[in-house]
């Protein structure tokens, strides 16, 4: 059971939370584009679902009528708030309470609360999935581990939410009422687009089905929308204040590649088949030598390697035709055998190989030789990584400036309050 509890904790804790949250971030996305307030925010409809692309052809008023209302969320100079949520207001100090059971307001940022349930959005999604694979008794026994994991997740994740709150609030303070209205329309449409994408991923068609699927993961539509809004506004504020995106010459990209070449190293590995004839299994080395010679002749005559391995090999993979899955260079005890596996051409069969206690014949099925990913294959990725790095640096500088005048009030003891102040 201890192993199960450890697995639970590992499943629900994430690291690296001191960066601005990113949406749809497979590697390192470009900073978001600048938003023009001269007219309605535009979208690339070529990548949208057909029905959404068609909606863009309608007058703005008609499109707005089709967008579901979110009366309980409001954009204002302090950020995104729930106007109908009674929890907004003075929060009690809970410094002595366990973070593993923390609820309500975690911290006030310029008087605006950050709630535990919003910070725990991803945590609860993972917990919900994990619990589906556990019995009621296992869930009960795992409660101490879950509380500890919950507390650790809050400590690591909260700084990111504080940053996002500061940046999104700063964006709204810089806008006119008309610009806020345009931003609200753009955010709602972008959120609807993200829901359409999510429905396609899950293979469902209705909003109701999506809400049910999200509920199973412990997520509500309202919480998902609020997280989406604040994340997008934070990124928008950074992109508008970070200056012109940097351009990197091919030479600069190549220099970076050379300086970080080990990051693009490829470990050698091989898939192979083995016929092993053991001295002990055959009653001694002379008999084993005779048997391996017969097998070698059969291979020369065109016999199938896997069939011979299954019929004659004394190795542990005999029943699988002597097949070994990917084996990394340096992992075999028999260095001579490994050297041959990385010398002969894929598809070919070796000569007889003698070890301390057996004879072997091997066949290389597939191999990746050690080396480096070519620069041409990674230069675009390097460009994105460098841009993202500068984007994160710009975000950090903006956050530092905003913190100079911000009032940040933790309502729990997070251990290292320097992360918040």
Residue 261 lies in a domain: no
Six-digit token string for 289: 């030598």
What pLDDT is stored for residue 220 in this prediction?
Answer: 84
What pLDDT is stored for residue 94 in this prediction?
Answer: 53
Spatial separation of the C-alpha atoms in residues 63 and 179, rounded to whole Å: 18
| 308 CB neighbour count, 10 Å cutoff | 21
What pLDDT is stored for residue 416 in this prediction?
Answer: 59
> What is the bridge-based pairing of β-strands 105-109 and 79-82?
unpaired
Same domain, 170 and 237: yes
Six-digit token string for 259: 């300086």
What pLDDT is stored for residue 419 in this prediction?
Answer: 52
Range of the structural domain that residue 230 is part of: 2-249+381-419
Q: How far is CA 247 from CA 29, 115, 244, 251, 387, in A?
A: 15, 39, 9, 12, 8
Same domain, 343 and 385: no
Same domain, 235 and 287: no
Instruction: State whether residue 156 is helix, strand or coil.
Output: helix
Residue 374 lies in a domain: no
Residue 258 lies in a domain: no
Asked whether the beta carbons of 21 and 160 are under 8 A apart, the reply is yes
Total domains in the chain come to: 2
Instruction: State whether residue 265 is helix, strand or coil.
Output: strand
Spatial separation of the C-alpha atoms in residues 403 and 333, rounded to whole Å: 57
Q: Shortest CA distance to 328 belongs to which of 262, 264, 260, 266?
A: 266
Spatial separation of the C-alpha atoms in residues 413 and 410, rounded to whole Å: 7
Same domain, 224 and 300: no
Same domain, 11 and 129: yes
Same domain, 132 and 275: no
Spatial separation of the C-alpha atoms in residues 103 and 395, rounded to whole Å: 29
Same domain, 241 and 356: no
What pLDDT is stored for residue 224 in this prediction?
Answer: 86
What pLDDT is stored for residue 124 in this prediction?
Answer: 87
What pLDDT is stored for residue 227 in this prediction?
Answer: 86
Asked whether the beta carbons of 281 and 314 are under 8 A apart, the reply is yes
The packing angle between helices 207-216 and 177-202, to 10°, is 80
For every one of its 421 residues, what pLDDT tens digit does the chain have, with 9 covering 90 and above?
A: 444 434 333 433 333 343 333 333 222 333 333 333 333 333 333 332 222 222 233 222 222 222 222 233 333 334 333 333 323 233 344 544 578 888 889 989 999 999 888 888 888 888 888 888 888 888 899 888 888 898 889 888 898 899 999 999 999 999 999 998 999 899 999 999 999 998 999 899 998 999 888 888 777 888 888 889 988 999 899 888 877 777 889 999 999 999 999 999 999 999 999 999 999 999 999 999 999 999 999 999 999 999 999 999 999 999 999 999 999 999 999 999 999 999 999 999 999 999 999 999 999 999 999 999 999 999 999 999 898 888 888 888 999 999 999 988 888 887 755 555 5
Spatial separation of the C-alpha atoms in residues 120 and 205, rounded to whole Å: 27
Residue 257 lies in a domain: no
Residue 291 lies in a domain: yes
Same domain, 130 and 156: yes
Cβ neighbors of 334 (< 8 A, separation 6 or more) are 355
HSE, side-chain direction, 13 A CA sphere, residue 8: 27
Cβ neighbors of 375 (< 8 A, separation 6 or more) are 253, 254, 257
Domain stop point among 369, 389, 408: 369
Same domain, 413 and 282: no
Residue 15 lies in a domain: yes
Q: How far is CA 69 from CA 42, 43, 147, 184, 352, in A?
A: 20, 20, 36, 11, 75
Q: What spatial distance separates the first Cα and last Cα of the chain, rounded to whole Å?
A: 40
What pLDDT is stored for residue 133 in this prediction?
Answer: 86
Residue 39 lies in a domain: yes
Q: How far is CA 241 from CA 34, 35, 165, 181, 258, in A?
A: 10, 12, 16, 21, 32
Please identify which residue in the block is written with the tokens 């005999």.
318
Same domain, 34 and 138: yes
For the chain, the maximum distance between any two Cα atoms, rounded to a whole number of angstroms, is: 93
Same domain, 36 and 146: yes
State the DSSP H helix or E strand holding residue 368, giving kind and residue range, or none if neither. strand 358-368
Same domain, 191 and 51: yes
């Amino acid at each position: 059971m201890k192993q199960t509890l450890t697995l639970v904790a590992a499943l629900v804790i994430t690291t690296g939370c001191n960066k601005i949250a990113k949406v749809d971030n497979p590697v390192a996305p470009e900073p978001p584009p600048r938003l023009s307030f001269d007219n309605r925010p535009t979208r690339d409809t070529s990548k949208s679902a057909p029905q959404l692309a068609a909606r863009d052809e309608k007058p703005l008023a008609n499109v707005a009528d089709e967008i579901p209302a979110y009366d309980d969320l409001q954009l204002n100079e302090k950020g995104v708030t729930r106007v109908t949520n009674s929890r907004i207001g003075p929060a009690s100090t809970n410094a002595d309470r366990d973070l593993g059971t923390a609820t309500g307001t975690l911290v006030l940022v310029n008087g605006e609360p950050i709630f535990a349930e919003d910070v725990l959005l991803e945590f609860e999604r993972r917990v919900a999935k994990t619990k589906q694979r556990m019995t009621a008794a296992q869930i009960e026994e795992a409660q101490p581990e879950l509380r500890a994991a919950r507390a650790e997740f809050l400590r690591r994740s909260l700084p990111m939410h504080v940053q996002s709150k500061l940046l999104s609030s700063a964006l709204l303070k810089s806008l006119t009422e008309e610009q806020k209205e345009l931003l609200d329309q753009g955010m709602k449409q972008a959120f609807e687009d993200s829901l359409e994408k999510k429905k396609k991923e899950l293979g469902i068609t209705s909003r109701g089905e999506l809400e049910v699927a999200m509920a199973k993961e412990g997520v509500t539509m309202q919480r998902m929308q609020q997280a989406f809004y604040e994340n997008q506004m934070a990124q928008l504020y950074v992109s508008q204040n970070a200056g012109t995106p940097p351009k990197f010459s091919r030479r600069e990209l190549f220099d970076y590649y050379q300086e970080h070449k080990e990051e693009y190293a490829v470990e050698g590995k091989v898939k192979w088949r083995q016929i092993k004839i053991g001295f002990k299994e055959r009653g001694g080395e002379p008999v084993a030598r005779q048997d391996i010679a017969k097998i070698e002749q059969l291979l020369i005559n065109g016999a199938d390697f896997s069939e011979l391995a299954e019929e004659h090999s004394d190795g542990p993979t005999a029943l699988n035709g002597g097949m070994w899955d990917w084996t990394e260079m340096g992992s075999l005890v028999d260095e001579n055998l490994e050297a041959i596996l990385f010398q002969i051409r894929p598809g070919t069969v070796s000569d007889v190989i003698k070890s301390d206690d057996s004879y072997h014949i091997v066949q290389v099925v597939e191999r990746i030789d050690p080396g480096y990913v070519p620069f041409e294959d990674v230069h675009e990725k390097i460009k994105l990584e460098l841009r993202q790095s500068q984007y994160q640096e710009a975000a950090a500088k903006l956050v530092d400036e905003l913190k100079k005048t911000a009032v940040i009030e933790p309502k729990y003891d997070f251990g290292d309050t320097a992360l918040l102040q």
